[in-house]
A and B are shown apart, each in its own frame.
Chain A
Amino acid sequence: QKEVEQDPGPLSVPEGAIVSLNCTYSNSAFQYFMWYRQYSRKGPELLMYTYSSGNKEDGRFTAQVDKSSKYISLFIRDSQPSDSATYLCAMSKDTGGFKTIFGAGTRLFVKA
């Protein structure tokens, strides 16, 4: 079993829809949780970064962490065609070196 599981999709939604992206994990020691966005032929770009459980909002994006269920989510409100990308969840146990485990990524298509 992988430490981090993420549905690869693809997920296709109409413009303006609310998108929900999710990851599950097995290691309860993870404390730092991140979402990266990756456009085609580009590197992953940090989108959201949270510590421990709870919610964090940044514009149209909301990250949720439920450590009791070992489940993290990224919500995108009012989705735009420019949101079409691969979204990678990522998590880490500690700050030392910040070694990070990545999900395989979910491909999202937002149709105009």
Chain B
Amino acid sequence: DAGITQSPRYKITETGRQVTLMCHQTWSHSYMFWYRQDLGHGLRLIYYSAAADITDKGEVPDGYVVSRSKTENFPLTLESATRSQTSVYFCASSESGQPQHFGDGTRLSIL
């Protein structure tokens, strides 16, 4: 089915570990985004990408790394996970001039 898929849906890891969250979209949208959603803060932009090999920081980029070697994939890596990065992570995509469409999220717990 066309759409945006995130994996895994749930992840538990320990502080200091590296973890990668995957995002795949089948629309061939140019733009892709990573957000985290926390109670009291709403959705906060971590990184975004305008095209393959073009990425830029959002509001809360520290501790995260992204890459975009292919248009359809936009993985998010936590290089050394901290408890403050426990959150629900959403990937979104859009075409220029159009609203974003979201995946169903990855619920990440860091112990």
Contacts and interface: CB of A to CB of B under 8 A. Distances in A.
Contacts of A98: 31, 94, 96-100
B42 A43 contact: no
Contacts of B90: 43-44
B43 A99 contact: no
Contacts of A96: 96
Contact of B45 (A36, A46, A99): A99
B85 to A, nearest CB: 19
Interface stretch (A52-60, A63-71, A76-84, A101-109): A101-109
B104 A99 contact: no
Interface in A25-78: 32, 34, 36, 41-46, 49
A45 B101 CA distance: 7
Interface string B18-60: 0000000000000100000000111101001010000000100
Contacts, number: 52
A99 B48 contact: yes
Interface of B: 31, 40-43, 45, 48, 50, 58, 90, 92, 94, 96-105, 107
Contact of B105 (A32, A42, A102, A105): A42
A107 B77 CA distance: 31
Given A34-B99, A103-B42, 17 more contacts: A36-B102, A41-B104, A42-B104, A43-B90, A43-B102, A43-B105, A44-B102, A46-B99, A46-B101, A90-B99, A95-B97, A97-B48, A97-B96, A98-B96, A98-B99, A99-B58, A104-B41
